[in-house]
């Protein structure tokens, strides 16, 4: 029988081309994907509250229908229908607007469950347009799926129900039975059925536990396998040119930078004939670029080519210009991004395959098929969490097992690092360049934004610059401040100052110009979306103001804050948020209390769980799907299990590991072929 992952979604009964397209947008391409498309949250109808005990905005009650009043029209042409219900103790009025069919669906003297929003105005409690179901309905925990304009959560639920009937009675469970027993995990079929349509809360928890465990175990095994089957490599560096590189720098490297460089150089000398596979982790501003540049320089001076990949054009360009200046003519360096002109691009491609370019810096453009190297010796990826392992692998495949250096400024908590970076050796830069001052951080509400702006004005009058970050580009239906409007209004307000706008929808040239003007001090305030989040370096800027700060994860805020405090001036970060929610406030307060990225990362993980840790960005191969679920304890359990399995059966050939092997092949694709061929 073919795998359900091989059956396209439009083969499912009831799904036409339109729905299939909407589903593909949600990442659901096959029936298997649909079954693995877990609910975002659930409506719990299983524990209704008494009417007298209603205390939340959204709730579920169980009550008899006493009376249904006839529809009446109120002003604005709305039709109102009132249903009076009683739970044996108290009465409650339920109101439906413009829904004349309700009285055909609800009968008086019958008991129902109602789930809806409570309105508390005019001293009277009413429930507004609740959903309802008979009290004996079988499923009382209703899944809520991520939806889009083409398909609703309800529709998805219906199709999932269909899809689940296609599962064979006995499904092969990737987690071997002895492990399931040891960690008290339910079987796969039970888990899949109950993650979608839980029988009760405890079944739902069983399902979540089991699926989280599985997901983490697969990640650990996939990464562990990669690590234990490192590729042979004959690329070795004879001479260490790091001292020569240091002499080019306008500053003295810190001890931590030197240590990281030495660790890399040792790998490059390649005594064991295995390629370097190293992560350099260091807080924002710790000077990772210098380390990477030094390694590129050493590799290039030994006659090998280097590919340096950055996640955004801005960053690639910045690295390019600073390295070009540093190296002058001692090594040949070029830039390749999506906006490189055809003619220039062809020249670069030729020079690369002829070996006339020593270091190529670029974006994802570097992994396209037509990029060929003569003798690629080193691949560097900056801000590694922005790239998947597959993209890394693609770039590596352009040489004969070149060395790999990845850099990350998102400090990743140790437990999580084991999962997403399990295949890498790690160097930590735990020291900041000297004379850095702490960036003072404040959390304010929008009603004192004016004061914040006049503070920014003062800084600019001193010759400094400022960033203002807004979450979105264009004004959407929500009230989030859009960068475009914001920049326009700000320019009007601060007419004597120059305000520029930077966002992801601008083309490369426009972005480059805006960034250049800011870097040269031509513009004083840069209003931007998060495109500036990673890496950008303008040491003269001293204020980072972030609007709707609650929309960002802590690690992301820390990244943004890292854009200031990079020079010799005292810097400030202003977080603007009107959210009253206590948890959100606590989260944002963490930013005001510490500047230490590792501490922030630990807090972020604890507060939001691994599923949300990296925000929407890709952070490896597969996203953690079980958001908001505290699986932190499983991080270590699954690591233990993965190690045990690999130590007994390192190519997963035992019969009890057959299903596990198949799952890893599915999730890791070509990346796993290195060890699971």
Q: Is residue 566 involved in binding ligand ADP (CB under 6 A)? A: yes
Residues 384-413: x where in contact with ligand ADP by CB under 6 A, - otherwise, as a string: -------------------------x----
Contact call for residues 524 and 498 (beta carbons, < 8 A): yes
Q: Is residue 510 involved in binding ligand ADP (CB under 6 A)? A: no
Q: Which stretch binds ligand ADP (CB under 6 A): 252-260, 385-393, 457-465, 640-648?
A: 252-260
Q: Is residue 535 involved in binding Mg ion (CB under 5 A)? A: yes
Comparing every residue's Cβ against Mg ion, the nearest one is 535
Q: 214 — alpha (psi -120 to 50), left (phi > 0) or beta?
A: alpha
Residue 289 vs 603, nearer CB to Mg ion: 289
Comparing every residue's Cβ against ligand ADP, the nearest one is 287
Q: Is residue 565 involved in binding ligand ADP (CB under 6 A)? A: no
CB of 261 to ligand ADP, least distance (A): 11
Q: What are the C-alpha distances in Å from 11 to residues 8, 18, 180, 289, 672?
A: 6, 13, 33, 49, 29
CB of 573 to ligand ADP, least distance (A): 15
Phi, psi at 336, each rounded to 5°: -135, 115
- Of 10, 30, 220, 254, the one binding ligand ADP (CB under 6 A) is 254
CB of 560 to Mg ion, least distance (A): 13
Question: Which of 337, 319, 302 has the alpha carbon at shortest distance from 348?
Answer: 337
> Helices H, strands E: what count in the chain?
22, 21
Q: Is residue 539 involved in binding ligand ADP (CB under 6 A)? A: yes
Residue 535 vs 597, nearer CB to Mg ion: 535
Tell me how many residues contact ligand ADP (CB under 6 A).
19
- Of 203, 209, 212, 286, the one binding ligand ADP (CB under 6 A) is 286
R_g over Cα of the chain: 29
State how far the Cα of 437 lies from the Cα of 569, in Å rounded to an integer. 8
CB of 8 to ligand ADP, least distance (A): 43
Q: Is residue 285 involved in binding ligand ADP (CB under 6 A)? A: yes
Residue 20 vs 310, nearer CB to Mg ion: 310
Q: Is residue 514 involved in binding ligand ADP (CB under 6 A)? A: no
Q: Which stretch binds ligand ADP (CB under 6 A): 15-23, 334-342, 534-542, 666-674?
A: 534-542
Q: Is residue 537 involved in binding ligand ADP (CB under 6 A)? A: yes
State how far the Cα of 206 lies from the Cα of 184, in Å rounded to an integer. 9
CB of 635 to ligand ADP, least distance (A): 26
State how far the Cα of 37 lies from the Cα of 45, in Å rounded to an integer. 22
Q: Which of residues 411-450 bind ligand ADP (CB under 6 A)?
A: 433
CB of 233 to Mg ion, least distance (A): 26
| Full DSSP string of 190-249 | HHHHHHHS-SSHHHHHHHHHHHHHHHHHHHHHHHHHHHHTPPB------S--HHHHHHHS
Q: Which stretch binds ligand ADP (CB under 6 A): 127-135, 177-185, 197-205, 253-261?
A: 253-261
Instruction: Compute the C-alpha angle 404/405/409, nearest 5°.
Output: 145
Q: Is residue 597 involved in binding Mg ion (CB under 5 A)? A: no
**H or E stretch at 458:** helix 449-461
Question: Which of 598, 606, 614, 609 has the alpha carbon at shortest distance from 556?
Answer: 614
Largest CA distance in the chain: 90
Contact call for residues 377 and 234 (beta carbons, < 8 A): no
| Full DSSP string of 462-512 | TT-EEEEE-SBSS--SS-PPBHHHHHHHHHHHTTTS-EEEE-TTS-HHHHH
Residue 411 vs 609, nearer CB to ligand ADP: 411
Q: Is residue 535 involved in binding ligand ADP (CB under 6 A)? A: yes
Contact call for residues 372 and 398 (beta carbons, < 8 A): yes
- Of 287, 362, 553, 565, the one binding ligand ADP (CB under 6 A) is 287
| Full DSSP string of 33-91 | HHHT---SEEEE-SSPBPGGG--SSEEEEEEEEEEEPPPEE-TTS-EEEEEEEE-SS-E
CB of 361 to Mg ion, least distance (A): 13
Residue 253 vs 422, nearer CB to ligand ADP: 253
Residue 551 vs 563, nearer CB to Mg ion: 563
Q: Is residue 654 involved in binding ligand ADP (CB under 6 A)? A: no
Q: What are the C-alpha distances in Å from 162 to residues 12, 166, 167?
A: 8, 7, 10
Q: Which stretch binds ligand ADP (CB under 6 A): 37-45, 250-258, 456-464, 600-608?
A: 250-258
How crowded is residue 52: how many other Cβ atoms within 10 Å of its Cβ? 10
Q: Which stretch binds Mg ion (CB under 5 A): 61-69, 165-173, 532-540, 644-652?
A: 532-540
Q: Which of residues 288-317 bind ligand ADP (CB under 6 A)?
A: 288-290
Q: Is residue 253 involved in binding ligand ADP (CB under 6 A)? A: yes
Note the residues at the interface with ligand ADP (CB under 6 A).
251-254, 257, 282, 284-290, 409, 433, 535, 537, 539, 566
Note the residues at the interface with Mg ion (CB under 5 A).
535
């Amino acid at each position: 029988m073919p795998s359900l992952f091989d059956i396209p979604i439009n083969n499912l009964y009831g799904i036409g081309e339109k729905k299939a397209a909407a589903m593909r947008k949600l990442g659901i391409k096959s029936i298997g994907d649909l079954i693995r498309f877990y609910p975002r949250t659930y409506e719990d109808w299983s524990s209704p509250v008494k009417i007298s005990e209603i205390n939340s905005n959204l709730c579920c009650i169980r009550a008899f229908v006493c009376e249904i009043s006839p529809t009446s029209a109120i002003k604005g042409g709305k039709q109102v229908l009132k249903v009076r219900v009683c739970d044996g103790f108290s009465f409650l009025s339920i109101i439906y607007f413009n829904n004349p069919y309700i009285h055909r669906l609800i009968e008086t003297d019958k008991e129902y469950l109602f789930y809806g929003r409570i309105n508390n105005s005019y001293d009277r409690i009413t429930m507004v347009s609740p959903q309802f179901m008979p009290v004996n309905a079988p499923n009382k925990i209703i899944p809520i799926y991520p939806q889009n304009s083409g398909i609703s959560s309800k529709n998805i639920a219906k199709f999932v129900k269909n899809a689940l009937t296609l599962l064979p009675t006995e499904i092969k469970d990737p987690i071997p039975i002895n492990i399931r027993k040891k960690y008290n995990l339910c079987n796969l079929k039970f888990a899949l059925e109950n993650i979608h349509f839980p029988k009760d809360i405890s079944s739902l928890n069983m399902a979540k536990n089991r699926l989280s465990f599985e997901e983490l175990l697969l990640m650990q095994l996939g990464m562990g396998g990669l690590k234990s089957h490192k590729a042979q490599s004959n690329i070795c560096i004879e001479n260490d040119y790091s001292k020569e590189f240091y002499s080019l720098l306008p500053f003295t490297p810190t001890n931590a930078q030197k240590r990281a460089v030495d660790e890399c150089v040792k790998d490059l000398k390649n005594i064991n004939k295995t390629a370097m596979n190293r992560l350099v982790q260091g807080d924002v501003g710790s000077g990772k670029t210098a380390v990477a540049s030094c390694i590129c320089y050493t590799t290039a001076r030994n006659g090998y080519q280097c590919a340096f990949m950055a996640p955004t054009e801005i960053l690639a360009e910045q690295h390019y210009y600073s390295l070009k200046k540093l190296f002058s003519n001692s090594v040949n360096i070029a830039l390749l991004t999506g906006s490189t002109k055809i003619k220039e691009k062809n020249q670069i491609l030729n020079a690369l395959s002829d070996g006339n370019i020593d270091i190529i810096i670029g974006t994802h453009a570097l992994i396209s098929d037509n990029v060929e190297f003569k003798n690629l010796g080193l691949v560097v990826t900056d801000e590694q969490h922005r790239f998947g392992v597959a993209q890394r692998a693609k770039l590596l495949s352009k040489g004969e097992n070149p060395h790999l250096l990845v850099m990350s400024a998102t400090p990743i908590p140790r437990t999580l690092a084991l999962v997403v970076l399990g295949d890498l050796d790690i160097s930590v830069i735990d020291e900041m360049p000297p004379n850095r001052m702490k960036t003072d951080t404040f959390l304010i509400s929008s009603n004192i934004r004016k004061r914040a702006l006049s503070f920014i004005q003062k800084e600019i009058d001193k010759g400094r610059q400022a960033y203002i970050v807004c979450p979105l580009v264009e004004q959407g239906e929500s009230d989030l401040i859009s960068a475009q409007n914001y920049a326009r209004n700000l320019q009007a307000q601060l007419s004597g100052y120059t305000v520029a706008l930077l966002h992801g929808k601008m083309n490369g040239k426009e972005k480059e110009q805006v960034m250049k003007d800011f870097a040269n001090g031509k513009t004083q305030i840069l209003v931007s979306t998060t495109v500036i989040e990673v890496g950008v370096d303008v040491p003269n800027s001293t204020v980072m103001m972030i609007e709707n700060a609650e929309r960002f994860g802590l690690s992301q805020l820390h990244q943004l804050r890292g854009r200031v405090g990079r020079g010799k001036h005292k810097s400030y970060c202003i977080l603007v948020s009107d959210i009253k929610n206590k948890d959100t406030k606590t989260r944002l307060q963490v930013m005001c209390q510490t500047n230490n990225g590792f501490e922030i990362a630990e807090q972020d993980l604890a507060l939001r769980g691994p599923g949300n840790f990296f925000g929407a960005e890709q952070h490896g191969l597969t996203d953690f799907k079980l958001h908001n679920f505290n699986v932190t304890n499983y991080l270590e359990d699954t690591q233990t299990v993965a190690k045990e399995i690999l130590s007994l059966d390192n190519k997963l050939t035992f019969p009890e590991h057959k299903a596990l092997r198949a799952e890893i092949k599915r999730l890791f694709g070509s990346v796993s072929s290195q060890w699971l061929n």
